Structure 1
Amino acid sequence: MRLEPQVLTLLVHLVRNRDRMVTKDEIVAEVWQGRAVSDASISSRIRSARRAVDDNGEGQTIIRTVHGRGFRFVAEVVETQPAQPAAREIAQPKGTLAGRPSIAILPFRALAMAPDLAILAEAIPCEIIQALSCMRWLAVIARGSSFRFRDPEPNLDLVATALGARYVLTGIIEARNRSLAVTLELSDSSKNEVIWGDRLVAQIDNIDDLRFQIVTHLVTALEVYIPLNEARVAQMAGIETLDAWANYHLGLQHLYRFTGDDNLRAKGCFERAVTLDPQFARAHAGLSFTSFLEAFLHLGPDVPAATLAARRHAERGLELDPLDPFTNFTMGRSFWLTHELGSAAGWLDRATTLNPNYAQGFYSSALTSMLAGDAAATEAGLDIALQLSPLDPLLYGFHGVRAQMLMQTGNYPSAARWGDKAASTPGAHYLIAMIAVAANGLAGRRDQAARWRQEVRRRKADATTAHYLAAFPTQDTASRSLIVAELRRHGF
């Protein structure tokens, strides 16, 4: 039986509070968010709730009226699965996340919109749902279910309970002076807390461009902010309470810090995820990523073993889910370690084909093009990656690859500027600082090069030119010779 959202809100609230009477004032606050309503409106919703559970005003065997005071749900309730608690019932996160994250995309609220434009309030969310369907780590609630919630101020607790959605995306679209503006909010429904928001504006003549911006911008934002929120909640719980997905997200948080200790912690999280769910493709891909970093950054004593492990874990991930962009991404990066650029490019192209909004896939393709000396492809890939994800965890790499490519083309002043930007970006490791040393040295900025040399030694005291060449085996011999000479001049 289909229920109106207000009736479902009322019924859920009565069931949750079945151990006590619920007052009329409380019902008004819960169902109408405190707006003034008549007793007749309350009675109408109560009648509809009774019909939904096969009760009536005479028998009152399920919903009982406490005359003059309120109502109470009196039937026996058996929980076959623990219900998601209301946000106000949570004093603090308890690490109860289970399964992969889920999201409901609700129809947008249209303000001051002509009828021919108001359709965008549903058309854009539909496009978002379609785009999110290729994100294998995120469960997307179908349009037929999520579009039932059209209230201008949706009750996130109700959406979470009715749809099983951990996250809810809401939006407002409005027309002003020949322009369209869309305001987006991503909320954690378990806490009624906004974890990300943005506002995009475009001229009415550029509606198609605005729709494209919204979809691509949102998909990229979800890749960053949902995993961060999942890891934050997981950190507040004991390890023994975490399921495979929670361990996976906690592993990602450690992974993107790019230090030896954090890489080990990430590896432990991914191993626990695989133990809990041996068929979890992304956890195997996570293990490939940690092995890649161990080899790429020389974090462990056995680089050849780490190189083999990066390939082996990526292959296992692909066996389990060949359509996951992340597993294809890790497979492509494993070929960097063996200097097989053609194979790397093929897997990375597959990753961005599976998810056209995969910023890290475009960045990695750009790095592969840089190693091959293709400046145009490098710039194009980096521009797309930066447009998609301006706050990406691998942002330092975006800038570092650009600096490296500029050195190869002989534009040393620009290379130095991008090298400084790369090495100053959070997460940058010692190899990025070595790019800054070489770029500044070749640009004649000796003092700046010396400062970055000290930073390299601080980050990795035993860093050498051999480490640099192993990480960036560029095929342009002339530029490589100049960079090697500059690094050696600075003691590497």
Structure 2
Amino acid sequence: MRYTFAEFTLDTELGELAQAGQVVQVEPRAFALLWHLLSNANRLVTKDELIAAIWGGRIVTDAAISTLVKTVRRTVGDDGKSQRLIRTVHGRGFRFVGSLSESIPATTKTEDRRQLEEAPIQTSRPSIAVLPFRGVGDMEGWEAMADAVPAELISSLSRLKWLRVLARGSTFRFRDPVPDMAVIRTDLGATYCLAGNVEIMGRRVSITAELSDTRDGEVIWAEKFSGNIDDIHQIRTDLVRLICSGLELHINIHETERARLRPPASLDAWSLYHFGLHHMYRFTAKDNSIAADYLAKSTHLDPGFARAFAARSFTAFQAAFVGYGNDRAVDVDNARRFAEKCLEIDRLDPFGNFNFGRSFWLNGDHDSGQAYLERSIGLSPSFAHGLYARSHADMIAGQGARAIESAKDAIALSPLDPFLYAMYQAKALGHLHLGEKDQACRDTDTGAREPGAHYIVTTIASAVNMVSGRETQAQYWRDKTLTRRPDASIAQFFAAIPLRDPGVKTDIHRALTELGFPEH
């Protein structure tokens, strides 16, 4: 993709920023921030979103964000006073406001096709070494815990089909207090390393874990859990669940950042897959199409790449569910077909089972795929998307309490998840089923403000607020919906969200009618 603004051109294929045809030197993180703002120029980009996209979700101060934004502004001839290109929305984030055009160079398409024909079949699936944790403080009586936590992590992570987990017999030989990432990479061939501490001081226990890239030693994510010594086993369980869920998000973000710095000809199936995910989780028609193209290239290079086929099912589902494509029947067929292909290659892939189970929703059948959605959780209990899907299905069935519980679990496991908007909306409708209107409004407003929220989500927000007597807020979300999708209708809403509880369905139908949504 090529973005042109003022006298600048940012070329994502070449990884270059040019001013009047001359390449401008820009540090990778500043390049990534500018790219993110340009590709989301139609909306506000929150600070939390930038932290997730640019820093991989690590703790970052406002000063660090401001410094990077200042660097980008200086690079493109902008400043904090004029803000002619990058505008600060105080307390919330930033937005690109300059005149912008986008294009895909024709030569790139031809070159991509040639590269696909010549490129070797590769899937650079990452590997991870989980090292024994270090005991700190008063460990008497708890010495085994420093090995028990990483051993449990190895067992749980081995269920993640996209990640190769090295055996305990190999990794537990490395017991240095400060592990040498270069040695671990050389001796074990690991792409990532997970190390940590178990610290006991009196009646307090803290368990920390740190994920590093062995290729350069960079720490890309860290977590810490603390509590009373009596709760140590619950703390351990919570940490294992959070790490299993968080690794997918943070490794995906990190791999995408690395792939951006590589020339297009060197991209293998794994890198193309991550580029696809990067666009897939933006939830716009344009990005969904770009994602589908990257993912098709990925499966072309490696026809046995199960998870890439699952992601292709995801993009087809999104096109059919939200109405991105021109032929819904084709999208519905592809959503099922690509998920089936994934399971044909690897029937134990949680993401594949999730996508296959969800594909039945497109035909209004929320029951036939439920076993596959449950299997996705059984295969990986920390799979936040599976928990969201269970919540959605329970909400459709009118099981409000169960929908709330699964949504809460999904949000707790993956607080930066691209699906956060959907998790909150399933939870909101769960509360509405129970008559808990105030909480329903809080959740629906939160979900509708999340990045990626599409017109069905803002339609839910307008309906829930109207049912709850908050007409002004309901009208606000109605206007947002109709701006994004002028043809939004009540029939479209219930085709996507076929509620079974007659009382709730009647209330929402009445609310949407009163707000002026057409029937068809």
Which residue is 2:208 aligned to?
183
The answer as to 2:468 corresponding to 1:446 is no
Compute the displacement of 1:304 (Å): 1.9
The answer as to 2:143 corresponding to 1:99 is no
Q: TM-score, normalised by structure 1?
A: 0.78
CA RMSD between the two structures: 1.4
Residue identity in the other structure for 1:415: A
Number of aligned residues: 396
Which residue is 2:155 aligned to?
130
Relative to structure 1, is the Cα distance of residues 323 and 480 closer, same or farther in structure 2, using a 3 angstrom cutoff? same
Which residue is 1:310 aligned to?
335
SS in 1 for 2:369: helix
Which residue is 1:173 aligned to?
198
Query: Which of residues 114, 118, 123 is equivalent to 2:139?
Result: 114
For residues 13-32 of structure 1, the aligned pairs below 5 Å read: none
Between the aligned partners of 2:203 and 2:403, the Cα distance in structure 1 is 37
Between the aligned partners of 1:384 and 1:417, the Cα distance in structure 2 is 18
The answer as to 2:348 corresponding to 1:323 is yes
Cα distance per residue 1:13-65 (max 9 Å; x no partner): xxxxxxxxxxxxxxxxxxxxxxxxxxxxxxxxxxxxxxxxxxxxxxxxxxxxx
Between the aligned partners of 1:330 and 1:478, the Cα distance in structure 2 is 30
Compute the displacement of 1:212 (Å): 0.5
Residue identity in the other structure for 1:454: D
Compute the displacement of 1:98 (Å): 5.9
**Share of identical aligned residues, percent?**
41
Cα distance per residue 1:457-488 (max 9 Å; x no partner): 23323222222111101112232122122112
For residues 366-445 of structure 1, the aligned pairs below 5 Å read: 366-445=391-470
Q: Is the 8 A contact 2:404 2:426 kept in 1?
A: no
The answer as to 2:297 corresponding to 1:272 is yes
Compute the displacement of 1:113 (Å): 3.3
Which residue is 1:54 aligned to?
none
Which residue is 1:296 aligned to?
321
Compute the displacement of 1:158 (Å): 1.1
Query: Which of residues 190, 193, 198 is equivalent to 2:218?
Result: 193
Q: Which has the higher Rg, Structure 1 or Structure 2?
A: 1
The answer as to 2:270 corresponding to 1:245 is yes
Between the aligned partners of 1:211 and 1:183, the Cα distance in structure 2 is 10
Q: Is the 8 A contact 1:344 1:368 kept in 2?
A: no
The answer as to 2:282 corresponding to 1:282 is no
Query: Which of residues 166, 182, 185 is equivalent to 1:157?
Result: 182
SS in 2 for 1:350: helix
Compute the displacement of 1:334 (Å): 0.2
Residue identity in the other structure for 1:287: R
Cα distance per residue 1:246-273 (max 9 Å; x no partner): 1112211111111001101110111011
Compute the displacement of 1:383 (Å): 2.3
Compute the displacement of 1:218 (Å): 0.7
Between the aligned partners of 1:408 and 1:295, the Cα distance in structure 2 is 27
Cα distance per residue 1:380-399 (max 9 Å; x no partner): 21122122222211111111
Q: Is the 8 A contact 1:363 1:381 kept in 2?
A: yes
For residues 62-81 of structure 1, the aligned pairs below 5 Å read: none
- Name stretches of at least 5 consecutive residues in structure 1 with no aligned partner: 1-96
Compute the displacement of 1:438 (Å): 0.6
SS in 2 for 1:172: strand
Between the aligned partners of 2:220 and 2:296, the Cα distance in structure 1 is 28
Between the aligned partners of 1:123 and 1:406, the Cα distance in structure 2 is 39
Relative to structure 1, is the Cα distance of residues 340 and 121 closer, same or farther in structure 2, using a 3 angstrom cutoff? same
Compute the displacement of 1:375 (Å): 1.7
Q: Is the 8 A contact 2:153 2:240 kept in 1?
A: yes
Between the aligned partners of 1:401 and 1:349, the Cα distance in structure 2 is 17
SS in 1 for 2:221: strand
The answer as to 2:516 corresponding to 1:483 is no
Residue identity in the other structure for 2:277: L
Between the aligned partners of 1:390 and 1:307, the Cα distance in structure 2 is 30
Between the aligned partners of 2:430 and 2:329, the Cα distance in structure 1 is 27
Residue identity in the other structure for 1:358: F
Cα distance per residue 1:150-193 (max 9 Å; x no partner): 11011111111111111111101111121111121111111211
Between the aligned partners of 1:201 and 1:425, the Cα distance in structure 2 is 29
SS in 1 for 2:283: coil
Relative to structure 1, is the Cα distance of residues 98 and 300 closer, same or farther in structure 2, using a 3 angstrom cutoff? closer
Between the aligned partners of 1:351 and 1:98, the Cα distance in structure 2 is 23
SS in 1 for 2:347: coil
Q: TM-score, normalised by structure 2?
A: 0.74
SS in 2 for 1:483: helix
SS in 2 for 1:341: coil
Compute the displacement of 1:286 (Å): 0.8
Q: Is the 8 A contact 1:437 1:452 kept in 2?
A: yes
